[in-house]
Amino acid sequence: YKGQFKTADGHWCYPLTIMDHASRYLLAVHVYDSPNYEDAKRSFEQVFRQYGLPERIRSDNGPPFATTGVAGLSRLAIWWIRLGIRPERIRKGHPEENGRHERMHRSLKSAVKQGNTFMTMEEQQRWFSDYREEFNYERPHEALAGATPGTVWHPSKRQWDGRVPDYAYPSGGTVYRVKSRGTLYMGKKGTVFLSEALTDEYIMLEEQDDGLEAIIFNGITLAYYDRKSRSIIRID
């Protein structure tokens, strides 16, 4: 999110921005009245249907992108993983790790401050849509040797039909269903909390050589379970 501001009628506006890291192509600027899972998911659904699926999505550590649970997983991140997208978060307090996006935000914020706040959210959205068109096709970028993002960007080859594919865990591990409130019951092995975002999802525990078991969700290792101390070792 770019950062909230008030429209001319006094309502808070939270612009959600989605940009391609390589080309700087601004895929979306959508205005909402709060940063929440439902609205963010709707924006990403629209972008995925139109432009295809990326390999990774980099974000900060705020909601709805991250939580304090294992691996920082949120409902949005769980959905991305199920689509075959790996969430990638910058370190807390290090916005420079997403410098290209922050640079775009500075330009966008500066433009908003130059008298471009409007009476309604609908008017504000129309202005952001026009700004996105200008940003992508009229503004040359020094990092692109003077080209515009629209001339170097290409859509993803991973087209999306709107379905979430099923995932089949390989043999070699034990599959568990995460219970209510993100709790994992493993019989004699013990009970641990993972993340409420994982409630009703299936994870696999795969034994390692050092007394640990990898906690794996859809092919991604989230953390490790220490059989001796019956505790979670976070890797995030």
Do the Cβ atoms of 201 and 184 come closer than 8 Å?
no
- How do 191-193 and 174-177 pair as beta strands? unpaired
Alpha-carbon gap, residue 203 to 69, rounded angstroms: 15
pLDDT above 70 covers what percent of the chain?
100
Q: What is the pLDDT of residue 236?
A: 65
Q: How confident is the model at residue 52 (pLDDT cuts 50, 70, 90)?
A: very high
